[in-house]
Amino acid sequence: MEPQEYDRWYETPRGRWIGQREVEMLVGALRPRPGESLLDVGCGTGFFTRKLSDRMTGQVVGVDINREWVEYARRTGAARASYAVADARELPFRKASFDLVVSITAHCFIREEVAAVCEIIRVTRRRFAIGLLNRQSFLWLQKGRQGGHGGYRGAHWHTVREAKSLLRGFPVQHLRVRTVIQVPTGGGFAQLFERVWPSALPTGAFILVAGDTV
């Protein structure tokens, strides 16, 4: 998939609603403070980097291993955000370099995901949030079976229990896990269903695991 094609999806009615829901959940979990810095690991086209930079007043940096997508993010990104090519398993930053660190579904495509989690915890000063694809969701039934389809091809889909276990043994506290996007069609029914579905039932397509470093 080309980066332009990926970003155009977020301009469709379905993509716009899903992107907004995910951004709102991210902001709610991170609760950025004035002047705080943020790192987006596996930023891809920079969609979430751009959206989060609109909610931040401090430094915002996006990194990805795909040079072509990083160049696209630089061309289309917000003026305040900067981008660099970097491997999520070996980030080129010192310990506690950023107040906030996010990684949105990038770990679903990293085989050594524990190493990538370790790097996120290492460079986080205050709070982190990791987004994953939920194997116990309608979206998995549509896009995740038999190796995945389209942009989901080759992705690893987690359960909520697996998402929690990723952080086991790390120096973190106040872990919070939520899911959103119960029905991934994005239409009126999906948006109504999202409002009435009990948040305690972890069946949304997008899992967010957030916590504080110790």
**pTM for this entry:** 0.95
Q: Mean pLDDT across the stretch 182-186? A: 92
Q: Which residues contact 147 (CB under 8 A, 6 or more apart)?
A: 153, 154
What are the backbone angles phi and psi of residue 83, rounded to the nearest 5°?
Answer: -135, 155
pLDDT of amino acid 77:
75
pLDDT of amino acid 58:
95
Does the pLDDT at position 1 exceed 90? no
**Closest among 72, 56, 55 to 64, alpha carbons compared:** 72
> Do residues 180 and 206 lie in contact, with contact meaning Cβ atoms separated by under 8 Å?
yes
Cα 50 to Cα 82: distance, rounded to the nearest angstrom:
10
Helices (H) and strands (E) counted in the chain, each on its own, are 8, 7
pLDDT of amino acid 43:
97
pLDDT of amino acid 145:
92
Query: Which band of pLDDT confidence, cut at 50, 70 and 90, is reported for residue 198?
Result: confident
> Do residues 128 and 100 lie in contact, with contact meaning Cβ atoms separated by under 8 Å?
yes
pLDDT of amino acid 69:
96
pLDDT tens digits for range 65-91: 999 999 999 998 777 899 999 999 999
pLDDT tens digits for range 17-47: 999 999 999 999 999 999 999 999 999 999 9
CATH class of 3-213: alpha beta
What percent of the chain stands above pLDDT 70? 100
Local structure of residue 152 (DSSP, 8 states): G
Q: Which residue has the tokens 């040079």?
A: 67
pLDDT tens digits for range 98-108: 999 999 999 99
**Closest among 67, 107, 68 to 88, alpha carbons compared:** 107
Phi/psi class of residue 152: alpha, beta or left (left: φ > 0; alpha: ψ in -120 to 50)?
Answer: alpha
pLDDT tens digits for range 109-153: 999 999 999 999 999 999 999 999 999 999 999 999 988 888 899
151 or 209, higher pLDDT: 209
pLDDT of amino acid 121:
98
